[in-house]
Structure 1
Amino acid sequence: MQNILIVEDDQDIQELLKEFLKEAGYGVTAASDGMEAIDLFGKGRYDLILLDIMLPKIDGFGVCELIRKQSQVPIIMLTALGGEEEQIRGLDLQVDDYITKPFSFPILIRKIAAVLRRSGRMGEEGHKTISYRNLVLDLDNYTAVVDGTAYELTQREFEVLRELLSHQGRIMTRQNLLNKLWRYDFYGDERVVDTHIKNLRKKLGIGFIQTVRGVGYRIEREN
Structure 2
Amino acid sequence: MEKVILIIEDDQMIQRLLSRMIKRSGFAGQTEIFDNSEEVFTFVRQSEDQIVLALMDTSIHPNGDAALAQELLKLCPEINLVASSGHSEEDLRGPQHFGGIDLVAVLSKPFGMQDVKDLLVSLNLI
Q: What TM-score results when the alignment is normalised by the length of structure 2?
A: 0.79
Shift of 1:7: 0.5
Q: Does 1:7 align with 2:13?
A: no
Q: Distance in 2 between matches of 1:108 and 1:75?
A: 14
| TM superposition shift of 1:91 | 6.8
Q: Which has the higher contact order (CA 8 A, sep 6+)?
A: 2
Aligned match of 2:82: 76
Does residue 36 of structure 2 align to residue 30 of structure 1?
no
Shift of 1:113: 2.1
| Alpha-carbon distance change, 53 to 34 in structure 1, aligned in 2, over 3 angstroms | same
Residue 55 (structure 1) aligned with residue 63 (structure 2): no
Secondary structure of 1:66's counterpart equals helix
1:29 to partner: Cα distance: 0.8
Q: Equivalent residue of 1:61, what SS? A: helix
- The answer for the alignment partner of 2:51 in structure 1 is 46
Q: Output the CA distance in 2 between the equivalents of 1:18 and 1:58.
A: 26
User: Hey, what does 2:70 align to over in structure 1?
Assistant: 65
* Structure 2 unmatched ranges of 5 or more: none
The corresponding residue for 1:139 is none
Q: Which residue matches 2:113?
A: 105
Cα distance, 1:61 vs. partner?
A: 2.5
1:42 partner letter: R
SS in 1 for 2:103: coil
Alignment of 1:155-166 (within 5 A): none
Q: How does 1:212-223 map to 2 (within 5 A)?
A: none
Q: How does 1:172-183 map to 2 (within 5 A)?
A: none
Per the TM alignment, residue 76 of structure 1 is displaced from its structure 2 partner at its CA by: 0.9
Give the CA RMSD over aligned residues. 2.2
- Is residue 2:97 matched to residue 1:94? no
Task: State whether residues 6 and 31 of structure 1, in contact with CA within 8 Å, keep that contact through their aligned partners in structure 2.
Answer: yes
Give the structure with higher Rg (CA): 1
For residues 15-60 of structure 1, what are the alpha-carbon distances to aligned partners after superposition, in whole Å with 9 as ceiling and x for unaligned?
A: 1111222232341111111221112111112111111112254543
Contact 1:4 1:50 in 2 (8 A): yes
Q: TM-score, normalised by structure 1?
A: 0.47
Partners of 2:106 and 2:3 in 1: CA distance: 20
In the other structure, the counterpart of 1:19 is 20
Aligned-partner SS, 1:47: strand
Identity, % of aligned positions: 19
Q: Deviations over 1:128-176 (max 9, x none)?
A: xxxxxxxxxxxxxxxxxxxxxxxxxxxxxxxxxxxxxxxxxxxxxxxxx
How many residues were matched structurally? Answer: 118
Which runs of 5 or more structure 1 residues have no equivalent in the other structure?
123-223
3-state SS of 2:94 partner: helix
